[in-house]
Amino acid sequence: MSTSSQPQFRYTQTPSKVLHLRNLPWECAEEELVELCKPFGKIVNTKCNVGANRNQAFVEFADLNQAISMVSYYASSSEPAQVRGKTVYIQYSNRHEIVNNKSPGDVPGNVLLVTIEGVEAGDVSIDVIHLVSAFCLKDVIISIRNLFQVFSAFGFVHKIATFEKAAGFQALIQFTDAETASAARNALDGRSIPRHALILLVLASRTCWFLPLAYLIFCAHRFEYKVSVSSKQVMREPRVKLGKQITDVLSWKSSNFFNLLRRWILFDEYCRDYTNPYLPVNPTAIEGVMQPTVGPDGKKKEPESNVLLASIENMQYAVTVDVLHTVFSAFGTVQKIAIFEKNGGTQALVQYPDVTTAGLAKESLEGHCIYDGGYCKLHLSYSRHTDLNVKAYSDKSRDYTVQDPTLLAAQQIPGVSAAQPVWQNPQAPSMYPGSEYAATAAVQPQVPGGQVPSWNPSAQAGAPPYVSVAGTFPSQTYPPSSVPAYATAPTPPGSSPSSQPGMAMAQPGAQPNVRPGGASPLGNPPYYNR
Partner DNA sequence: AGCACA
Q: Taking CB under 7 A as the rule, does residue 275 contact DNA?
A: no
Q: Taking CB under 7 A as the rule, does residue 232 contact DNA?
A: yes
**147-170 burial, b if ≥16 CB within 10 A, otherwise e?**
bbbbbbbbbbbbbbbbeeeeeebb
Which residue in 92, 135, 209, 466 binds DNA (CB under 7 A)? 92
Cβ(506)–Cβ(211) below 8 Å = yes
Q: Which stretch binds DNA (CB under 7 A): 165-173, 337-345, 398-406, 518-526?
A: 165-173
Question: What's the Rg (C-alpha) of the chain?
Answer: 27
* Least Å from the CB of residue 176 to DNA: 17
User: By rule CB under 7 A, what count of residues binds DNA?
Assistant: 37
Cβ(462)–Cβ(380) below 8 Å = no
Which residue in 113, 147, 201, 323 binds DNA (CB under 7 A)? 113
* Least Å from the CB of residue 48 to DNA: 10
Cβ(273)–Cβ(157) below 8 Å = no
Give the whole-angstrom CA distance, residue 490 versus residue 495: 11
**Residue 526 three-state SS:** coil
Q: Taking CB under 7 A as the rule, does residue 18 contact DNA?
A: yes
CA angle 198, 529, 402 (to 5 degrees): 130
Q: Taking CB under 7 A as the rule, does residue 101 contact DNA?
A: yes
Tell me the residue type at 515.
Answer: R
Tell me the residue type at 128.
Answer: V
- CA dist 458 → 110, 265, 353, 428, 444 (Å): 19, 28, 24, 12, 19
**Residue 502 three-state SS:** coil
Count how many Cα atoms sit within 13 Å of the Cα of residue 148 in the half-sphere of its side chain. 31
Q: Which stretch binds DNA (CB under 7 A): 196-204, 235-243, 389-397, 493-501?
A: 235-243
* Least Å from the CB of residue 30 to DNA: 13
* Least Å from the CB of residue 178 to DNA: 13
Which residue in 38, 44, 91, 392 binds DNA (CB under 7 A)? 91
* Least Å from the CB of residue 148 to DNA: 17
Give the whole-angstrom CA distance, residue 383 versus residue 340: 14
Q: Taking CB under 7 A as the rule, does residue 171 contact DNA?
A: no
**Within its chain, how far is the Cα of 184 from the centroid?**
17
Closer Cβ to DNA, 111 or 229, answer by number: 111
Cβ neighbourhood burial of 139 (10 Å; 0-12, 13-18, 19+): middle
Closer Cβ to DNA, 41 or 288, answer by number: 41
Q: Taking CB under 7 A as the rule, does residue 50 contact DNA?
A: yes
Q: Taking CB under 7 A as the rule, does residue 237 contact DNA?
A: yes
Which of 68, 14, 8 is CA-nearest to residue 41? 68
Give the whole-angstrom CA distance, residue 188 versus residue 433: 15
Q: Taking CB under 7 A as the rule, does residue 334 contact DNA?
A: no
* Least Å from the CB of residue 18 to DNA: 5
Q: Taking CB under 7 A as the rule, does residue 329 contact DNA?
A: no
Q: Taking CB under 7 A as the rule, does residue 391 contact DNA?
A: no
Residues 6+ apart with CB under 8 A from 470: 452, 476
- CA dist 14 → 48, 141, 404 (Å): 22, 41, 73
Closer Cβ to DNA, 56 or 456, answer by number: 56
Q: Taking CB under 7 A as the rule, does residue 84 contact DNA?
A: no
Cβ(453)–Cβ(153) below 8 Å = yes
Q: Taking CB under 7 A as the rule, does residue 274 contact DNA?
A: no
Which residue in 62, 99, 409, 447 binds DNA (CB under 7 A)? 99
* Least Å from the CB of residue 85 to DNA: 13
CA angle 384, 385, 390 (to 5 degrees): 145
Q: Taking CB under 7 A as the rule, does residue 530 contact DNA?
A: no
* Least Å from the CB of residue 174 to DNA: 9
Closer Cβ to DNA, 172 or 361, answer by number: 172
Closer Cβ to DNA, 67 or 200, answer by number: 67
Q: Taking CB under 7 A as the rule, does residue 479 contact DNA?
A: no
Q: Taking CB under 7 A as the rule, does residue 253 contact DNA?
A: no
Could you list the residues that contact DNA (CB under 7 A)? 11, 13, 18, 20, 22-23, 47, 50-51, 53, 55-56, 58, 89, 91-95, 97-99, 101, 111, 113, 161, 163, 165, 170, 172, 232, 234-239
